[in-house]
Structure 1
Amino acid sequence: MKQLNKVLFTVALVIMAGAVMATGNLNVKVTAGEGAEAHVRVTNAVEAQFEMEIRNSSNDIVYYKQIQQPLKVVLNTYDFSRLSNGEYLLTVKLDNERNTTTLAVENGDVKVVDQVKQVDPYFGYSNDKLQISYLNHAAGDVKLYVFDEQSNRLIHEDELGSAFAVNHAVDLSKLKKGSYEAVLVSDNGVYEYGIALK
């Protein structure tokens, strides 16, 4: 029995390590080319299907493409010469990862203003515990709130700090049956997770 538990524990560790390795591997490099050109290089550790979009300051999509064939590397050059002056967001999406680059177009020239990487947090519920793992790419303060969905009352609040790797568990064993919502707030966004206690 001890041998079986040891084998199962080892297998669980390997699966968890694989899941962690698969997250956070999206890499996007955007460089200004000649004039209104921007060169985009997207890489990932494994072959994947990417989504790419460009939005203007009004949040209108001016370009969208989904790479249908799984690839490890995508190279594209975008010509912004026909676009009006202003800021544009170039977003590359892969599963639960996003990389957003802010580009400034001015009189036919493109400049990279900022780049933000975002990976959605992992939420899980087992053994009366809410478990959260989050890669805090923005390095800002991360907060967790738990609400009772029926009364919309805040029942738990945690300051999780500003570390890059945030791992946290909350004991929910004393809560009565019902629906609850966990809300993780960071500089990169707000993430919600529903919990049904039966």
Structure 2
Amino acid sequence: MKTIKFLTTVMAMAIVAVATAVEKPKMDIVPLSEDRAVVSILNSAEVLFELSIRAEGGELVYYKQASSPSLTYQKIFDFKNIEDGDYAMDLRVNDTRLIKDIKVSSEGITVGESKMRIDPYFGFSNNVLKLTYLNFDQEDLSLNIYDESGLVYESKLGQDFNIAKGFDLAALDAGQYEVILTSKNDDFSFSLEK
């Protein structure tokens, strides 16, 4: 019974540690007129961040990388020279992304709901590649491993929300490898040396 209580306590502490380790930035987009909006960012601590706006087809319309850590950021964006259409404003703080869809039209600017995304965790020890990923969009995922000569391993991971896998790489030769987790919208990479 003591062992079960101890394990439960350890698991609860681990969950709290993971939950508090994730950055929780806040981003508000408030239309001021038909073609202008103010973007406000509030971070939980002074951090570096990246802010980008992409068109529906993936074209980069705006990009800013903070030059020094900050708690807040505020800017008025003028959308009058941007074509009508759908855009995504993407705030990245460490491994956390906050995405808001924006629709620009002659009637004005419409802001969608926030979507939070967290980059996958990769780890490698004792010849085991560990991967965890929260697949919020439940996209088809695949994992590919490459060495200097090309693809050496591939796996379809499916569309599950919670991906937690271990891959035994003991059979691979010593050397440098690049691991790529691929979804419809993103690619994540991890380098390892065996």
Deviation at 1:194, TM superposition (A): 2.1
Residue 152 (structure 2) pairs with residue 157 (structure 1): no
Q: What is residue 179 of structure 1 aligned with on the other side? A: 176
Task: Note the alpha carbon deviations across 1:16-38, whole angstroms, 9 max, x for none.
Answer: 85355322523434354442233
Aligned residue pairs: how many?
185
Counterpart residue identity of residue 157, structure 2: E
Cross-structure match for 1:94? 93
Shift of 1:136: 1.8
- Any idea what SS the aligned residue of 1:104 has? strand
Query: Structure 1 unaligned runs (5+)?
Result: 1-5
Aligned equivalents of 2:14, 2:168: Cα separation in 1 = 24
Partner of 1:18: helix, strand, or coil? helix
Structure 1 residues 9-28: aligned runs within 5 Å? 18-23=17-22, 25-28=24-27
Give CA deviations for 1:138-190 in whole Å, capped at 9, x if unaligned.
2223222233x143234241425421x32211111232223333221224411
Q: Shift in Å at residue 69 of structure 1?
A: 4.8
Whether 1:70 and 2:45 are equivalent positions in the alignment is no
Matched, 1:167 2:167: no
What is the aligned-residue RMSD (CA, Å)?
3.5
Change beyond 3 A, Cα 1:70–1:185: same
One-letter amino acid of the structure 1 residue matched with residue 70 of structure 2: P
Give the TM-score, by structure 2 length: 0.71
Q: Secondary structure at the match of 2:17?
A: helix
How far apart, CA to CA, are the structure 2 residues paired with 1:64 and 1:174? Answer: 43
- Report the AA paired with residue 70 of structure 1: S
- What corresponds to 1:119 in structure 2? 118
* 1:192, distance to aligned residue in structure 2 (A): 1.7
Once residues 69 and 181 of structure 1 are traced to their aligned partners in structure 2, the CA distance between those partners, rounded to angstroms, is 30
Contact residue 23 and residue 93 of structure 2 kept, 8 A = no
AA paired with 2:176?
S
